[in-house]
Amino acid sequence: MEHPLAGLRVLDFSRVLAGPFAGRMLSDLGADVVKVEPPDGDVTRYWGHEIANITGYFHQQNAGKKNICIDLRAPNAPGLVKRLVAEADIVIENYRPDVMDRLGVGYADLNAVNEKIIMLSISGFGRDGPESRRAAYAPVIHAEAGLIARSTRRDGVKLHDLPLSVADTNASLHGLVGVLSALHMRHRTGKGQHIDIAMIDATVATDDQLHYDLEDAIGTGPMPNEIWESGIGPVLLSTDFRMFFRSLTTLGLEDPSNPEMELEEKINVRRKAVGDFLNTLDTPEKFSAAMKSVNVAWGEVRSPENLRDQLTVKARGAITDIDDRNGGTRPITQSPYRFSAAKSGVRGPVAHRGEDFDEVLKGWLSMDDQDISQLREDNVVIYDRKWRHH
């Protein structure tokens, strides 16, 4: 079986997460993705557990990509980038909206050398508008889009950020939809596109709870899911407590309330009875059977370090192991795409900064050793083992 995107060439100028995640997914789907890293490197090379000079965060988002280090400020760098773009299908970048234009490699510059090029630009607040020059990482968008305030209001806890960078990954995935749509349109028109993805747009569009806030209708939604202690530890029950209690009475749970009780007392004694019942379910098999009999969806509140033990994660290989470039392996999240007649998945280990310059320049541009040496002498292309992060 072939990869769906085999044959596509991608230049990934992006850093951290919103852009690199899109590039990683394109690589998993078969595209030839070259990460174009600046001389000072992607900041995520400093984040996470380090093996063979490669940290965990960078490893997860950049596995399978080739790597070339180009100093975009060098006099001959725009010319080299344009030569690469002439051979490319897709460009990804997540600098602030004015940076690529200022360096001479904005969409107009690249489209002039390749009218079929599809460029995905991801920024916090979009290319146009009053906040287009604002710096933005995911937590900034979480704050501006109301996610932090909602989390605090619903949970009654101190204001705090979300425990994952959802604004980045939402923007990345919406960017992928845009890129694949532009590829389909290019088959009809022969023309490329510039796709402007704002992280705040992507977050707002993906927020399934926002309509409650916009229409002042928070009380009209379903009761919130609850987490209960049980015989197998904390579990989330995705159900309305009132329905859940009535369902449990069919399993023999007795109603401890009586007609003389006030409503609050009645609720409290029923909740205690449910809690006592859940604590009798002291094996996963017992708990699963009980929830199945009352048709209640539930989830074990699992510590993420034990995620590999989750039955479906384990069975589907959602976390796999790849070469750690140190004689062993290390874990990495796997591509979520499962095709009936095509394959996808992480396609190789992570490159050190700039180490694939020779393969990329010869493979994409048929460049000879003399020209490559000149680019290195001019500090346009950079690779030196001492540049690797220690």
Distance CA 25, CA 341 (A): 18
Taking the CA atoms of residue 24, residue 28, residue 32 and residue 34 in that order, the dihedral angle to the nearest 10 degrees is 20
Reported in sequence order, the residue ranges of 70-163 that DSSP labels E, i.e. its strands, are 90-93, 118-123
**Alpha carbons 6 and 2: distance in angstroms, whole number:** 7
Contact 95, 59 (CB under 8 A): no
Amino acid at 241: F
User: Which pairing describes strands 54-55 and 118-123: parallel, antiparallel, or unpaired?
Assistant: unpaired
Alpha-carbon span 68 to 38, nearest angstrom: 9
By three-state DSSP, how is residue 306 classified? helix
CA-to-CA distance for 390 and 54, rounded, in angstroms? 9
Query: For residue 335, what is the DSSP state?
Result: P
Task: Identify the sign of the CA torsion 354, 358, 364, 366.
Answer: positive
User: What gap in Å lies between CA 16 and CA 27, rounded to an integer?
Assistant: 16
Q: Which of 12, 42, 168, 356 is labelled catalytic? A: 168
CB-based contact 170:199 (threshold 8 Å): yes
Nearest CA among 240, 243, 227 for reference residue 278: 227
Q: For residue 15, give Cα distances in angstroms to 87, 332, 347, 374.
A: 22, 19, 20, 27
Residue 168 falls in the annotated catalytic set: yes
Cα(229)–Cα(232) distance, rounded to whole angstroms? 8
Give catalytic residue positions: 168
